[in-house]
């Protein structure tokens, strides 16, 4: 059986976002992945993480999987307790439902952020967001922008050179 721990996050909502997944088989970590998504909402990032996890289980020809997240909203939407009202995630929800239906035995479980391998997924997604900071982001963090590095008055927020 596969267990997939996924987490999505954004710095700002919407803001720069990423997701990460940690996949285990019979309790052993077999795959980890994180991806930067650009500027999106937290819920968008959570769903992209879930879809990445479902896709990985399908690639591994999994027939039984449990998807574990700290997003109570996504888990309750996936289990039918809550309806999806946000237009920005309806397509992602439908994709997740369609893909998960291809796995014969599927469970969704909500845990606290500090439980199981969710902290590992959270660390991976934060590292991914850190890797995708621009020089402009760094200038704003330290409160100083040297014009030889970046012409701050001429660079739009979010543009700049990626480190």
Confidence of residue 133 (pLDDT cuts 50, 70, 90): confident
Write the pLDDT tens digit of every residue in 35-80.
999 999 999 999 999 999 999 999 999 999 999 999 999 999 999 9
Q: How far apart are CA 19 and CA 128, in angstroms?
A: 8
Question: What would the mean pLDDT of 126-155 be, rounded to a whole number?
Answer: 65
Q: What is the CATH number of domain 2-132?
A: 3.30.420.10
Kind of pairing, strands 28-40 and 15-25?
antiparallel
Q: So where are the chain's domains?
A: 2-132, 134-163
The C-alpha angle 99, 87, 159, rounded to 5 degrees, equals 95
DSSP string, 71-133: -HHHHHHHTTSS----HHHHHHHHHHHHHHTTSSEEEEEE--TTSTTHHHHHHHHHHHHHHT-
């Amino acid at each position: 059986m596969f267990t997939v721990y996924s987490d999505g996050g954004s710095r700002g909502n919407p803001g720069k976002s990423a997701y990460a997944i940690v996949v285990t088989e019979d309790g052993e970590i077999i795959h980890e992945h994180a991806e930067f998504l650009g500027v999106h909402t937290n819920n968008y990032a959570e769903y992209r993480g879930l879809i990445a996890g479902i896709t990985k289980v399908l690639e591994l020809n999994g027939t039984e999987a449990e998807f574990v997240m700290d997003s109570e909203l996504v888990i309750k939407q996936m289990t039918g307790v809550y309806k999806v009202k946000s237009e920005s995630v309806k397509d992602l929800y439908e994709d997740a439902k369609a893909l998960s239906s291809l796995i014969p035995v599927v469970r969704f479980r909500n845990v606290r952020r500090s439980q199981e391998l969710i902290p590992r997924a959270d660390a991976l997604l934060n590292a991914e967001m850190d890797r995708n900071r621009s020089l402009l982001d760094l200038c704003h963090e330290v409160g100083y922008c040297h014009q030889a590095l970046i012409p701050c008055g001429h660079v739009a927020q979010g543009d700049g050179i990626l480190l």
